[in-house]
Structure 1
């Protein structure tokens, strides 16, 4: 299973939550954490890891091999044993490595996630339309979107939902910090948050590698942040478990009323689909698009 963790408008905690999710992913799955933030990595610095192996060495090796075990060969271990592929802190080097890694036709991370009992958690950082991490999100089985719950953040998110709807069929939202309630956000955006990341400074400090932060009550298994990540992991596994029950057939979308969103300042009054994502505007016909000729 391949899970991408992203943010919009620089919502904090993507790396910390990615570490928590990977550390608390249920057994017996082998879990790998990959840092794929185009703005540069933090994990290596936080935990005093070596500069290599990591994302740069993995990208170089992927040019010559499609071995699904390749990402595991470029990991370092976090305290507790979690294997991680770290990104360089320099943004230019991180983007160059990601560009090389995502240019492979099959995708080495996708191949690793296809292996039996393997889960790959990828920290993709802030998700912009031109992000070099976008191919990873498109290939993922699930995407976890972290967002603040204030009006300005929701307004930015509302404008991104049509794009995200084209990138992934399995989005999940987690709220960060105070603001609008999950009920209000469900009503306004048509997307039901999985929950809210708890304010857990001690648990976050452990997951950030801060000296002296570890204790029996703040470790990933006992902290509020770790417990929330474990619940999210179980929800994702349940959502992607094979089901023998037949899927009910839905009628055409236009037969069902869709809400018009007006209450959150800055959120445009556009309809949302029954699946929870805002409907994207129709693409222009090639003959109607300016500067284009007839289709061959």
Structure 2
């Protein structure tokens, strides 16, 4: 079960929009985990246009009763016309602290689900460093992508996070460029930060509202946005071999 995490270090730069786009264009079964601890479930309110579904909030209670793995499949919400199912995020940010003991159990449950169904996992981790951040999912990811602009303030924040993120991750850490301006090229960003740029998200705010707000766009298929996200998905999958091809990975803190 490859696990792919999408995050940012300085607020929203289209992390959720990219996560939704990846899940909807994934060519095989995938679970999109809305792990952003800021609450409000931007995906249910946005792409799903306000539909109400149980998710992480209910799994917190299930975890307390040691029933998380049993309840996880019933909390997955299939996204129409795709191979994706969504695990919705918290309803309120006040619940974030309660997640600190849940992430490890959720990761184990997802791995158990992979044995039964062969799913991949895409994690929308939101902004790094927040209370309740899904650190176990991030550290166990096959690939973690940090979405960033190319302005000096954005790159300075990324630089401050990279040593800890790379040291704590068992997989690859890559950058994805987003935003309206490209002050520096991908090669300049890679040279400056010492981190490979996986790719770029095409800047098309109107088209993005289909994935971020559930507002269909007549010319969506002509936009470069979906093409760029499909290309990113291909690059992600190329970095993480399928479970049957990959050797077992040690859990963080486990004997090696």
The answer to whether the 8 A contact 2:125-2:133 is kept is no
Alignment of 1:1-296 (within 5 A): 1-26=2-27, 29-40=28-39, 41-46=41-46, 47-63=48-64, 64-65=66-67, 67=69, 70-81=71-82, 82-93=84-95, 95-96=96-97, 98-104=99-105, 107-113=108-114, 117-128=118-129, 131-168=132-169, 169-177=171-179, 178=181, 179-211=183-215, 213-215=216-218, 217-218=219-220, 223-241=223-241
The answer to whether the 8 A contact 2:97-2:132 is kept is no
The answer to whether the 8 A contact 1:22-1:31 is kept is yes
User: What is the CA–CA distance in structure 2 between the aligned matches of 1:48 and 1:237, rounded to whole Å?
Assistant: 29
The answer to whether the 8 A contact 2:202-2:224 is kept is yes
> Helix, strand or coil for the counterpart of 1:172?
strand
User: What is the CA–CA distance in structure 2 between the aligned matches of 1:32 and 1:105, rounded to whole Å?
Assistant: 12
- The Cα shift of 1:105 comes to 8.5
Cα distance change, pair 147–110 in 1 and its aligned pair in 2 (3 A): farther
- The Cα shift of 1:59 comes to 3.0
The CA deviation string for residues 177-197 of structure 1, in whole angstroms up to 9 with x for no partner, is 222110111111111211221
Give RMSD over aligned pairs. 2.5
**Number of aligned positions between the proteins:** 234
User: What is the CA–CA distance in structure 1 between the aligned matches of 2:15 and 2:44, rounded to whole Å?
Assistant: 15
User: What is the CA–CA distance in structure 1 between the aligned matches of 2:126 and 2:192, rounded to whole Å?
Assistant: 25
- The Cα shift of 1:62 comes to 4.0
User: What is the CA–CA distance in structure 2 between the aligned matches of 1:126 and 1:189, rounded to whole Å?
Assistant: 19
Could you say which residue in structure 2 is the equivalent of 1:290?
none
- The Cα shift of 1:116 comes to 5.1
Cα distance change, pair 14–113 in 1 and its aligned pair in 2 (3 A): farther
> Helix, strand or coil for the counterpart of 2:220?
coil
Higher helix proportion, which one? 2
- The Cα shift of 1:232 comes to 1.5
User: What is the CA–CA distance in structure 2 between the aligned matches of 1:181 and 1:72, rounded to whole Å?
Assistant: 43
Segments of structure 2 that go 5 or more residues without pairing to the other structure are 243-256
> Helix, strand or coil for the counterpart of 1:104?
helix
The answer to whether the 8 A contact 1:32-1:120 is kept is yes
The answer to whether the 8 A contact 2:177-2:197 is kept is yes
Cα distance change, pair 9–84 in 1 and its aligned pair in 2 (3 A): same
- The Cα shift of 1:123 comes to 0.5
Q: Which moves more between the two structures, 222-231 or 142-151? A: 222-231
Task: Report the structure number with the largest CA radius of gyration.
Answer: 1
Query: What's the TM-score, normalizing by structure 1?
Result: 0.71
Asked which structure has the greater RCO (Cα within 8 Å, sep 6+), the reply is 2
Query: What's the TM-score, normalizing by structure 2?
Result: 0.81
Cα distance change, pair 49–149 in 1 and its aligned pair in 2 (3 A): same
> Helix, strand or coil for the counterpart of 2:67?
coil
